[in-house]
Amino acid sequence: MATASAQLEWVVCPVCEEGRARALFDKQGFTVVGCPNCGLRYVNPRPTADWLAAWYGTQYYQGERANAAGAQHLHFPEMKIATARLRLDLIRPFCATGWLVDVGAGGGFMVEAAQAAGWHAVGLEPSTTAARHAARERQVHMVSGRLEEAPFSSGRFNVVTMLDVLEHVTCPGKCLTQARRLLGPGGILLVETPNMAGWLPRLMGARHPWVRPPEHLTYFTPATLRVLLERAGFCLLRLLTRTSKVLTLDYVLSLTGSTNPVLTAVAQGAVGWWRGLGRAPFKLPLDMLVAVAASNRPEESTR
């Protein structure tokens, strides 16, 4: 994607609202900065919310280009549904059934997994392309639109899930506040986002495939995610700093092609002799933050 067309704006730290920032590195035409107060890393200046909405609506889920990461997400349903089942297992000790909304639902894979597990589930997805694809291919209930404009009454849901969403949005704090509005008393929030304090992200730095502006705008650590959740009015119940996803090598390489082309080419050459290897699913522990939080303040049961 040509970054020259992006409409940019300077912002304060999305977690602590500190106005100062130190430039750390550039990648794909954008600058990643560090907050001197809380340590958060984020893109600054960043694309405006309107520009991103248009980009996600017209490009992210379309085409076969290496930077059309959303299109790649839609092509691996079995893998995505298997990971969604793992995330539902994390919710079950706190809320076993009821109404669930998956924010940033993409291809509707969490919605399908939740329905199969007995939940009344709906997906909220800003991309009309992805929402229509999910409704057609997965036969699930999808609503197209932004979270702040969602046609849901306050307190309607028992659970809100946001998987690989916070790193994409321009205002993650406001996003969490809107999610809290949708939850009834004792409602549960499940958030997943890359853990940039993990050993591999720290080792690779700017070369890590998760560092991919303008798709990923904010790079969280356990400390910064905890602060953001608490500022949005959530009580943290559980925080995992490393958890498994179900992946295939074909999927991984489809995402690394634009950010790590040399490594991708080497990997593709190494497994090219065995055609089935790239399609075989496997469970891999990754540096991912998965937070389970309550929408009010019960006695904390962090473990």
- Write down the domain spans for the chain: 54-294
Structure tokens of 25?
Answer: 């590195």
Contact between 74 and 133 (Cβ < 8 Å) = yes
Structure tokens of 273?
Answer: 């002799």
Angle formed by the axes of helices 172-182 and 222-231, to 10°? Answer: 50
Structure tokens of 63?
Answer: 């085409």
Residue 5 predicted with pLDDT over 70: no
16-66 residue pLDDT tens: 999 999 999 999 999 999 999 999 999 999 999 889 888 887 777 765 444
Q: Is 46 left (phi over 0), alpha (psi -120 to 50) or beta?
A: beta
* Nearest residue to 279 via CA among 77, 66, 81, 110: 77
- 3-class secondary-structure state, position 67: coil
Is the model more confident about 278 or about 47? 47
257-277 residue pLDDT tens: 555 665 656 555 655 545 566
Contact between 24 and 34 (Cβ < 8 Å) = yes
> Quick check: bond before 261 cis, omega within 30?
no
102-152 residue pLDDT tens: 999 999 999 999 999 999 999 999 888 889 989 999 999 999 998 988 999
Has domain 54-294 been given CATH number 3.40.50.150?
yes
93-109 residue pLDDT tens: 999 999 999 999 999 99
Cα R_g (the chain), whole angstroms: 18
- Per-residue confidence band for 71, with pLDDT thresholds at 50, 70 and 90: low
> Quick check: bond before 209 cis, omega within 30?
no
In this structure, which amino acid lies at residue 105?
A
193-249 residue pLDDT tens: 999 999 999 999 999 989 999 999 999 999 999 999 999 999 999 999 999 999 887
As beta bridge partners, residue 41 has: 34, 219
Structure tokens of 298?
Answer: 């019960």
Contact between 132 and 105 (Cβ < 8 Å) = no
Q: What is the pLDDT of residue 57?
A: 73
